[in-house]
Amino acid sequence: MNFERLPIHDELAIRDLFARYGHLADVGNPAFVELFTEDATWTRANSPPQSQGGSGLPPETLRGRDKLRTMMTEVMQKRFKGLVRHQMTDFYVEPGETADDAIGHSRALITDWRDGPGKIAMFGTYTTRFSRTPAGWRIRDVTVEVLPKGD
């Protein structure tokens, strides 16, 4: 079985960028927004209740760095208090429609440490679209889908 691949320097840059996503998001670091294009979108496609592995937050799409910055402050810093961790796994990246586009796929195991000992809070899949910009590769779009998917 053959798979299309990106040039290795592009793949390494994208992998590095995506690794920073989880590290910066977990602590609500405002530098998180620098990983994204100016007009990027971030979508929570579904939201099961907390009792079934969801975040308790509604499905929504955020557009632009200002909205992402607000998410870092309101959700990651204030609501989750920097005590939630994303373990991004099984990441692979494919070429997009042009040499300046790529699509990443990963799974995320999200643990919650707010009540002391950590517990598995959520499991999701991420589809991430990357674009090459004058500043290097950036995230153009993230879609997160959490299990269970529901109806």
Which residue segment(s) compose the domain that 25 sits in?
8-146
- pLDDT tier at 151, thresholds 50, 70, 90: low
pLDDT score at 136: 98
Residue 151 inside a domain? The answer is no
Give the angle 91-145-82 at the CA atoms, nearest 5°.
80
pLDDT score at 57: 83
Residue 134 inside a domain? The answer is yes
In angstroms, how far apart are the furthest CA atoms of the chain? 46
* Mean pLDDT across 27-47: 95
Residue 123 inside a domain? The answer is yes
Residue 44 inside a domain? The answer is yes
Q: What are 4-28's pLDDT values in tens digits?
A: 899 999 999 999 999 999 999 999 9
Residue 2 inside a domain? The answer is no
pLDDT score at 56: 77
pLDDT score at 150: 64
